[in-house]
Structure 1
Amino acid sequence: MFSFKAAVTLAVLAMLVVAAHCGFGEGTNSYNYDLSKMSELRKLYNSKVYLCDRMTRPLSGMSIQIGKLSHSGVRVTLEDGTKWLVHKGDGYGISSQTVVVHARHMSNTWKIIETKDFGGSKTVSDFVKAGGTDYSLIFDNCHDASGRMMGG
């Protein structure tokens, strides 16, 4: 049986904090990290989420988005005011296809479609878990993941 500390450490290892530019295409296997120390990852993973924006952008290589022909994710705002994008895509992560990216990497093509105030009742880890580890274009894509993250 794992101790709580070991379980948290394993969960943090499973969550990737990827600093890939959000304009990258699905299937990219280039992993850069905003945070690399376990203490930084653990702090982010356990951070309370106050505001949450469900957002969409055109697919890579497209200049417009048409309904589900787009990419979606959820931008979370933490107590310290930092913003992070939690989103899912094929090949986005190593052990999970739902990743956390610092919002400074988001292009200006992202548009807010829904906002919720969670008031600190959820953590970044809750959003990553809701996104899920596996990606399926038909059965569990970015839109499905962002919907679950928003509670729908």
Structure 2
Amino acid sequence: MANFPHDVKTQSGLTGIYNEKVTNVERMARPMGSSGGSANVPFVNHQGVRVTTDQGNQYLIHKGDGYGISSQTVVTDAKHMSNQWQSMGSRDVGGNQNVGSYVGTGGANYKLLSDNCIHGAGRMFKK
């Protein structure tokens, strides 16, 4: 695995997260640029989903240009979310899909106009 400053340091740890069953999905948004990683764009926000698993864990799944290695949709522990993130709605999803399937639904590639964070969040929320 690459040297990213994340909580999970092993492939088996990541596999464990990907295999957790999702029971609730919540669409989230924050102002663009509030993480310090991108320019502040008025009237546009960065979006993702916060999932809750059957183990009680919460993860933020979101995509962006350069966010990951093999996929531009990444999963991080929700404890790292700033207070800039706001809920846009949530729904129970029954625990039939795992975290990895939501990452896959977000999409491996990032395209600014046709497959960005808003598109990915929309697909994941509707899943």
Shorter chain as denominator, the TM-score bin is 0.7 to 0.9
Match of residue 124 from structure 2:
149
Q: 1:83 aligns with which of 28, 50, 58?
A: 58
Distance of 1:70 and 1:140 partners within structure 2: 15
Query: Are 2:50 and 2:61, in contact at CA under 8 Å, matched by a contact in 1?
Result: yes
State percent identity of aligned pairs. 44
* Deviation of the 1:106 alpha carbon: 0.4
Tell me the TM-score normalized by structure 1.
0.74
Query: What is the distance in 1 between the residues matched to 2:59 and 2:47?
Result: 14
CA distance in 1, matches of 2:4, 2:64: 13
TM-score of the pair, normalised by structure 2: 0.88
What is the aligned partner in structure 1 of residue 102 from structure 2? 127
Report if aligned partners of 1:57, 1:65 keep a CA contact under 8 Å in 2. Answer: no
TM-aligned CA deviation for residue 45 of structure 1: 0.7
Out of 88, 92, 98, the position equivalent to 1:113 is 88
Letter in 2 for 1:51: N
Q: Which amino acid aligns with 1:31?
A: F
Quote the residue 2:6 is aligned against: 33
Structure 1: gaps of 5 or more residues: 1-12, 17-29
Q: Is the contact between residue 75 and residue 83 of structure 1 (CA under 8 Å) also seen in structure 2?
A: yes
Q: Partner letter of residue 146 of structure 1?
A: A
Alignment partner, residue 96 of structure 1: 71
Q: Aligned partners of 1:54 and 1:150: how far apart in 2? A: 6
Matched residues in 2 for 1:36 and 1:118: separation? 29
What runs of 5+ residues in structure 2 fail to find an aligned partner?
Answer: 35-39
Runs of 4+ more than 4 Å apart? none
Deviation at 1:98, TM superposition (A): 0.2
- Structure with more strand by fraction: 2
Q: Larger radius of gyration, structure 1 or 2?
A: 1
Distance in 2 separating the partners of 1:145 and 1:31: 22
User: 1:45 aligned to 2:18?
Assistant: yes
Shift of 1:65: 6.1
Instruction: Determine the C-alpha separation between the residues in 2 that align with 1:93 and 1:151.
Output: 23
